[in-house]
Amino acid sequence: MTNQITSTAPQGTSPADAGDRITTLLAHADDNMVLAQRLGELISNTAELEIDIALGNKALDHLGVARALYTHAGSTEGEGRTEDDLAMFRTERDYTNLLLVEQPNGDFAHTMVLQLFFDAYQMELWKDLSGSPDLTLGGIAAKALKEATYHLRFSSGWVIRLGDGTEESHHRVQDGVDALWRYTSEMFEGAAEKYRSAWTTSIEAAFVDANLEIPSDPYQRTGGRGGFHTEHLGFLLAEMQWMQRSYPGLQW
Amino acid sequence: MDAAELPGAAMVIAATISIVSLRKVAASVVDPEIPVLTIDDLGILRSVELDQGRVIVTITPTYSGCPAIGQIEDDIVTAFEKVGVEDVEVETVRFPAWSTDWISEDGHRKLSEFGTAPPVPEPDVLCPRCDASAPKLIARFGSTACKALMVCSSCGEPFDYFKQF
């Protein structure tokens, strides 16, 4: 049995266009792959069964999006690279995910702030890409948009509950915001600038309800899209890739 | 018609079976996570085609990370093997994206009988056991990615709700 993703890429585009499209597909695939792996670390480790299941489901959604995008990138490239090749045999410098998604989970408040920042970004991204002339990408985005809607309800709900909760929960969630804010500008580099204003509106609305403050320190870190990462990604990839690297081609 | 009742199952070759029969074989495959629903009820069976003796079955995954999709692919191949058709290819197509609107009316009824609230808008969900309205949402993410967990405010039974997508 073969399982092929039918390619519906627009015809007649130049190799340069195809190169750009592959770069973009891989960047979004890497974001979802890395976050899926991060969330996977929490399975059986959260304080409540419902949270455990919710985050496991969220990880699965991101993994599914990553698989579809890697497969599509591989078929667009046309050199026979599969989703496994792209996920398991590219190094830290090849990965172009956002620095945000590779950050460690921290405490629950910190994890929820990270999800909120990323979920609100993906809402805008998938809304935009669901109208892509590349119909396979459009289909992946349309599906991912529905999932992102659930993700955002979950993460914003928790950030508001924690921010507007006890003194301790408020303090922890504000700490998460202070630690992660520096990784948010990177989401809007280049053509992604168009997502910034809707994202900001969505975050500000949640912060009003949660009594949270946007940090006054303007410092921002970037580099992920160019393959320059924080120290955390190497460890994450080492754990994720060691099996395929030790036993290439190993299957379930 | 059940797959096993196909005439001369062991000796037929793909080319002599009509497309209608082939479709019935594929349509008999059930979802491993919701065994009361076939992939046809779910609407994920997009097409069954015959190309020079090879059967090409096209499906669309429900959720991006649906873990059942690999099992469904295997089950489709097995269903065809049982009627003597060996040359089967399962293709996954992601456009247009699957929606719960593709679940048939029959599928809605079967889900309800199974104890899972079918995918209607969240405020319209009824308890599948006692039909009471306004159940409480316990967890937005339930036993599988496509379901949320609710509890009936009248009979007190917890139940799965197939999220409307």
A5, B92: Cβ pair inside 8 Å?
A: yes
pLDDT at A78 over 60: yes
pLDDT at B88 over 70: yes
> In this complex, is the C-beta atom of A62 within 8 Å of any C-beta atom belonging to chain B?
yes
Residue A10 domain-assigned (yes or no): no
pLDDT of res. B6: 52
Residue A92's CATH number? 1.20.1260.10
This prediction has a pTM of 0.85
* 3-class SS of residue B163: coil
Q: What residues of chain B lie within 8 A of the CB of A53, using their CB?
A: 139, 141-143
B104 and B40 Cβ atoms separated by less than 8 Å: yes
Number of domains in chain A: 1
Q: What residues of chain B lie within 8 A of the CB of A153, using their CB?
A: 140
> In this complex, is the C-beta atom of B56 within 8 Å of any C-beta atom belonging to chain A?
no
**All domains of chain B in start order, with CATH:** 3-98 (3.30.300.130), 104-162 (no CATH)
In this predicted model, what pLDDT tens digit does every residue of A5-23 receive, in sequence order? Answer: 444 445 555 777 889 999 9
DSSP-derived pairing of the beta strands B147-151 and B158-162: antiparallel
Residue A77 domain-assigned (yes or no): yes
B73, A1: Cβ pair inside 8 Å?
A: yes
Number of A/B CB contacts below 8 angstroms equals 93
pLDDT of res. A8: 47
Residue A221 domain-assigned (yes or no): no
> In this complex, is the C-beta atom of A215 within 8 Å of any C-beta atom belonging to chain B?
no
B95, A3: Cβ pair inside 8 Å?
A: no
Residue A153 domain-assigned (yes or no): yes
Q: List own/partner pairs for A232-240 with CB under 8 A and 24 or more apart.
A: A232/A102, A232/A103, A232/A104, A233/A34, A233/A92, A233/A95, A233/A97, A233/A102, A234/A92, A236/A34, A236/A37, A236/A38, A236/A102, A237/A91, A237/A92, A237/A95, A239/A37, A240/A37, A240/A87, A240/A88
Task: Name the band, by pLDDT with cuts 50, 70 and 90, for residue A64.
Answer: very high
Domain with A140 in it: 17-215+228-246
> In this complex, is the C-beta atom of B145 within 8 Å of any C-beta atom belonging to chain A?
yes
